[in-house]
Structure 1
Amino acid sequence: MTKNKIKEVAYRHLVEKGYERTTLSSIAKEVGIKTPSIYAFYKSKEDLFIAVYKDLLQDNHRHIKSSIDNLSNGTVKEKLYQILKAICDYHLSEPEKTAAYMKFTFFLPPTLNDEVRKTFSEIEDMLSQMLKGIFSEGIRQGVLKNQPIDDLIASFLCLMDGIFLELLYHSQEEKFKRRVEQTWSIYWNGIYND
């Protein structure tokens, strides 16, 4: 209970104040414990931050995975599109978590960059495994052009990154959704084996 409460309060402080201005003492005070008690659960402020960051990424991944699980009998095209749609839906419906994700990913002290990259890579690897299955299925069925799976995964991850940046640049939801549809159409035509 205390461990989760520490993470919950830390998340709020990190979002509101940023990493540099968040202190373990302010977190401990709000939780109702003494600062040294945090060390029973987390080795350091960095360790606590990484735990909060990992939770945020896993929440996003769970959302994507559950939307794909609901399409277990879908076509390859439907599954790939559903991943993009799930990401868009998640970020549109969770603006606070999206803002936190941005802050945690792009506005950190350089000393945390390696750990953040490592944590991000772990989650990306889980998504890559999911994509590997979908792309392999598509090639086996002859729906997709026979290309190296790693290339297909890399291109899809870059597509996801681009769509995420579009979301940040376009505050109008309709314009953003139109861009996603346009981009998806071009992407699918590039990998589809017609």
Structure 2
Amino acid sequence: MSSQRLKEAALPLFAEQGYEGTALSEIAKAVGIKTPSIYAHFSSKEALFLEIYRDVMRHELVMLEEVAKERHGTMEAELRAFFYRVTDFGVDPDVKRFFQRAIFFPPQALAKQMREEMTTYEAMTSESIGAILSQKLDAAQKEKWIYVFYCLLDGLSLEHEIYDAQDFTKRRDAAWEALAALL
């Protein structure tokens, strides 16, 4: 049994049921061990959750860096690719759902620490977007665009859970059009 296997088993449970709704015994059962064996790998449920949270942030940053490095010809095409990639909630759905839950409903005992780490993650994401935006926008316009981007991203992450694929696609396309109008 490895720490990685425990994290792989815990991720979908935390994603679906949240931190409070997931018992260590469920994670242990998913990998075929007894609950106390988890403590050989993680000091607590909080430690397991935080390690998954950090893994997910790293995963998302790698994906964003890959998109930011792609060349699509124009700044607008690069931003469009970036926007559609981060709002593609069908790719790695457990990762996306875990991240959404962790951001919007962090465990109370970990909320402050997680928000601090999220601030670092957001700064790195903003840097990737800002590098693309610097081709055309001044600092104030760039900041405004990034703020609107995050608001739309947060809204779409919730709407993805509410609407069917066709309605979500319409909403995402409309969100992109509104964001592109700021360029």
Q: With structure 1 as the length reference, what TM-score do the two structures score?
A: 0.75
Deviation (angstroms), 1:33: 6.0
Uncovered stretches (5+) of structure 2, i.e. residues with no partner: none
Q: What is the rounded CA distance, in whole Å, between the counterparts of 2:131 and 2:113 in structure 1?
A: 28
Deviation (angstroms), 1:40: 5.1
Within 5 Å, give how 1:3-42 maps onto structure 2.
3-15=3-15, 17-24=17-24, 27-28=27-28, 31=31, 38-39=38-39, 41-42=41-42
Which structure has the larger Rg?
1
Give me the CA root mean square deviation: 2.8
Within 5 Å, give how 1:17-166 maps onto structure 2.
17-24=17-24, 27-28=27-28, 31=31, 38-39=38-39, 41-71=41-71, 74-89=73-88, 91-139=89-137, 147-166=140-159
Deviation (angstroms), 1:17: 4.5
Q: With structure 2 as the length reference, what TM-score do the two structures score?
A: 0.79
Q: What is the rounded CA distance, in whole Å, between the counterparts of 1:24 and 1:95 in structure 2?
A: 22
What is the CA deviation profile of residues 30-59 of structure 1, one whole-angstrom value per residue up to 9, with x for unaligned ones?
Answer: 546665664454332212101112222332
Q: What is the rounded CA distance, in whole Å, between the counterparts of 1:104 and 1:147 in structure 2?
A: 30
Q: What is the rounded CA distance, in whole Å, between the counterparts of 1:82 and 1:61 in structure 2?
A: 15
Uncovered stretches (5+) of structure 1, i.e. residues with no partner: 140-144
CA contact under 8 A between 1:80 and 1:134: conserved in structure 2? yes
* CA 1:112–1:81: 2 relative to 1, 3 Å: same
Q: What is the rounded CA distance, in whole Å, between the counterparts of 2:21 and 2:173 in structure 1?
A: 40
Percent identity between matched residues is 31
| Greater RCO structure (CA 8 Å; 6+ sep) | 2
- How many residues in Structure 1 have an aligned counterpart in Structure 2? 183
